[in-house]
Amino acid sequence: MIGGDYQGLGIVRSLGRRQVPVGLIDDETSIARFSRYTSFAVKVPSFGKAAETAEILINLGRKRGLQGWVLYPTRDETVAAISQHKKTLEEVYRVPTPDWNTTKQLWDKRNTYELAARLGIPTPRTRWIRDRKELDHLELSFPVVIKPAIKEHFLRGTGVKAWRANNRAQLDKFLDYGSRFVPQEELLIQHLIPGDGRSQYSYCSFFRRGQAVSKLVASRRRQHPLEFGKSSTYVESVELPLLEEYSERFLRSIDYYGLVELEYKYDSRNGQYCLLDVNGRTWGYHTIGRLAGLDFPYQLFLDQLKMPVEQCRGKVGIRWIRLLTDLPTGVISILQGKLDVSTYVRSLRDFDEEAVFSRDDPMPGLVEIALIPYLVVKRGF
């Protein structure tokens, strides 16, 4: 497994509870290394360029005798590296990540939105420019969102997922600043769909040979930060067949294989669910599947070992929370008048799955509390 924050911890527990050995490779100080289910943990200097990442994985695999182990990336940059060097990595590992012809449709949002348009899947109106003079000829209706076509360097440089510009002056300012980290043409200018996490939904699946082996749709009730969330803090599984239809149409068109999350936002102005992003890996709250009846990482593991995987649909009404980030998110929402106290307190009593704290594996939860200053500085939680 590559990357060991709470998302990686969920993979460790999914496999480790079934006596599957799990190794962790990370370039950060992460909580998954403290799990009782982690067989070994290796910290590397950095997952930089794709070729360097592949070389690190190959060398480590040969040194530790990891022939036939399944690779689980947890971040977009490692997905890209594995996809681009898939054939080489398959000399040592089982590699469920699709090849680059498929992955590039997810890696670059310009590809994602162009494909969605051809497939009749709604997306927010999005533009990108090579020269600033092109702005004068664009029909823009403010507010707009400035976001990266490719997340990796933008997120690392700015520490945010997106910016809101309420006028042309703000748009120019953010384009200037964003261009320090990524090329001008990678900065997307997107019409803002109003709403916070309560307007956002996700389709989650283990997808194979044109159909979903397992799937659920989730409502991202709360997220951090509130408007452009980098991570969900409170999620509930719901029934939304339209998003299943959209998502499976998209995944079939690129012959996708593996675990995947497609993110949507509901536009109350026209009643459309617009595709925002596609993540070709496990996602932050994938452990919601454990009590919803589908354990995503373990299903992928079984399939990689040519063992049968039961087709299933996630139960509706299962609630997942990450307390460490949901508590400050809830307080801010209450202070801003977006959430009443009684509703919030009730949600703290009725969740089914906590992202980190577990009775059978308590150490990661204790370590995460100690790491709060580090997490705030490193990635704002």
CATH of the domain at 337: 3.30.470.20
Q: How many domains are contained in the chain?
A: 3
Q: What is the mean pLDDT of residues 228-237?
A: 92
Range of the domain at 239: 197-350
Both structure tokens of 1: 């497994």
Both structure tokens of 275: 């595709």
Estimate the crossing angle of helix 241-253 against helix 109-119, to 10 degrees.
110
Amino acid in the structure at residue 343: T
Residue 377, pLDDT score: 67
pLDDT-derived band at 375 (thresholds 50, 70, 90) equals low
Q: Give Cβ neighbours of residue 378 (< 8 Å, ≥ 6 apart).
A: 28
CA atoms within 13 A on the CB side of 267: 14
Verify that 184 and 204 share a domain, yes or no: no
Residue 250, pLDDT score: 98
Cα–Cα distance for residue pair 116/124, rounded to 1 Å: 11
Q: What is the mean pLDDT of residues 87-114?
A: 97
Q: What is the mean pLDDT of residues 269-279?
A: 97
Both structure tokens of 185: 């043409």
Residue 380, pLDDT score: 59
Q: What is the mean pLDDT of residues 351-368?
A: 96
Instruction: Share the mean pLDDT of the chain.
Output: 94
Both structure tokens of 111: 């590809």
Which regions of the chain does DSSP assign to beta strands (E)? Answer: 23-26, 40-43, 126-127, 144-148, 163-165, 187-191, 200-208, 211-224, 231-238, 258-267, 272-279, 312-313, 319-321, 353-354
pTM listed for this prediction: 0.95
119 within some domain: no
Q: Give Cβ neighbours of residue 360 (< 8 Å, ≥ 6 apart).
A: 17, 36
19 within some domain: yes
* Lowest mean pLDDT, pick from 1-5, 189-193, 244-248, 273-277: 1-5
Under a CB-based contact definition with an 8 Å cutoff, are residues 24 and 41 in contact? yes
Verify that 187 and 207 share a domain, yes or no: no
Residue with structure tokens 């980030």?
A: 325
Strands 211-224 and 231-238: antiparallel
Which regions of 74-226 does DSSP assign to beta strands (E)? Answer: 126-127, 144-148, 163-165, 187-191, 200-208, 211-224
Whether the pLDDT of residue 156 is over 60: the answer is yes
Count the Cβ atoms, other than its own, within 10 Å of residue 68.
11
pLDDT-derived band at 260 (thresholds 50, 70, 90) equals very high
Cα–Cα distance for residue pair 355/360, rounded to 1 Å: 13
Verify that 259 and 346 share a domain, yes or no: yes
Under a CB-based contact definition with an 8 Å cutoff, are residues 127 and 277 in contact? no
Verify that 341 and 207 share a domain, yes or no: yes
Cα–Cα distance for residue pair 290/279, rounded to 1 Å: 20
Verify that 139 and 176 share a domain, yes or no: yes
Amino acid in the structure at residue 76: D
20 within some domain: yes
Verify that 246 and 306 share a domain, yes or no: yes
Residue 378, pLDDT score: 64
41 within some domain: yes
Q: What CATH number should be reported for the domain holding residue 158?
A: 3.30.1490.20
Phi, psi of 21 (to 5 degrees): -65, 140
Closest CA to 4 of 282, 222, 257: 282
Whether the pLDDT of residue 48 is over 80: the answer is no
Residue with structure tokens 């994602």?
A: 112
Residue 263's H or E segment, with its range, is strand 258-267
Verify that 167 and 146 share a domain, yes or no: yes
Residue 47, pLDDT score: 83
Domain stop point among 41, 69, 101: 101
Residue 170, pLDDT score: 97
CA distances from 238 to 201, 202, 241, 292 (A): 9, 10, 10, 11
Q: What is the mean pLDDT of residues 186-190?
A: 97
Residue 131, pLDDT score: 87
Verify that 289 and 303 share a domain, yes or no: yes
